[in-house]
Chains A and B, each alone.
Chain A
Amino acid sequence: NAGVTQTPKFRVLKTGQSMTLLCAQDMNHEYMYWYRQDPGMGLRLIHYSVGEGTTAKGEVPDGYNVSRLKKQNFLLGLESAAPSQTSVYFCASSYLIDLRDGYTFGSGTRLTVV
């Protein structure tokens, strides 16, 4: 099925460990985004990409890095996980920059840092 696929769906990390979240889309979308969702705070943008080889910072980029080596993939890395990064992470993609058609979201990754 066409859409946005996130892996893994769940992960528990120890403080200081590193990991990479993978987002893959098969809709040929140019724009991809990583958000985090925390209780009472809605969704906040971490990083985004407007095309292959490009990345940019969103509202809450500290502690995260991203890469977009291939158009269909957008990776989110945590180099040294901290308990404050416990969250649900969503990847999304879109075709049009003005987002009139809305995002296509992945199903999320629940990350717990202990």
Chain B
Amino acid sequence: AQTVTQSQPEMSVQEAETVTLSCTYDTSENNYYLFWYKQPPSRQMILVIRQEAYKQQNATENRFSVNFQKAAKSFSLKISDSQLGDTAMYFCALSDSGTYKYIFGTGTRLKVLA
């Protein structure tokens, strides 16, 4: 069975600092996609970054980057120059190529402190 584990229920970081959110997963598939979603207090789910499992290069989107370790089945999110607007719940998600759904982790609540 596929699983996604986020072991940090809550984290905090000072504004302008860097923070890393952890995610580990398990799947028997070789082709899959990994995602980080942000859910601010507005409740809206926002796609932050995506990683294809067949790509070795780590994905980057502005201040957000991932450290994808396929052999270790690890997919961490690094937020650089943290901003107050980054305060949100962050979900890691796994989707196999050819399947119909995501498997979500339980989320990490991030608070950026002024």
Question: A62 an interface residue at 8 Å Cβ cutoff?
Answer: no
Contacts of A108 in B (CB 8 A): 43-44
Contact with B along A26-51 (1 / 0, CB 8 A): 00000101000000111111001010
Q: How large is the interface on B (under 10, 10 to 19, 20 to 34, 35 or more residues)?
A: 20 to 34
Q: How large is the interface on A (under 10, 10 to 19, 20 to 34, 35 or more residues)?
A: 20 to 34
User: A98–B99 contact, CB under 8 A?
Assistant: yes
Task: Give the residues from 23 to 79 in chain A that come closer than 8 angstroms, CB to CB, to chain B.
Answer: 31, 33, 40-45, 48, 50, 56, 58
Contacts of B25 in A (CB 8 A): none
Q: Which residue of A lies closest to B46 (CB)?
A: A105
Q: How far is the CB of B86 from chain A (nearest CB, A)?
A: 19
Max count, chain A CB within 10 A of own CB: residue among B91, B97, B101, B102:
B101
Complex-state Cα separation, A102 to B34, whole angstroms: 10
A42-B105, A107-B43 are contacts. A100–B33 as well, Cβ < 8 Å? yes
Contacts of B101 in A (CB 8 A): 33, 45, 48, 58, 99
Complex-state Cα separation, A114 to B97, whole angstroms: 40
Task: Give the residues from 2 to 47 in chain B that come closer than 8 angstroms, CB to CB, to chain A.
Answer: 4, 9, 33, 35, 42-45, 47
Contact with B along A77-114 (1 / 0, CB 8 A): 00000000000101010000111101101011010000
User: A102–B47 contact, CB under 8 A?
Assistant: yes
User: B91–A42 contact, CB under 8 A?
Assistant: yes
Contacts of A90 in B (CB 8 A): 45
Name B's A-contacting residues (CB within 8 A).
4, 9, 33, 35, 42-45, 47, 50, 52, 91, 95-102, 104-107
Instruction: With A42-B105, A45-B102, A110-B43 given, name 20 new contacts (CB 8 A).
Output: A33-B101, A41-B106, A42-B91, A43-B102, A44-B104, A45-B101, A50-B100, A92-B45, A97-B99, A97-B100, A98-B33, A98-B98, A99-B99, A99-B100, A100-B50, A100-B52, A102-B47, A102-B50, A107-B42, A107-B44
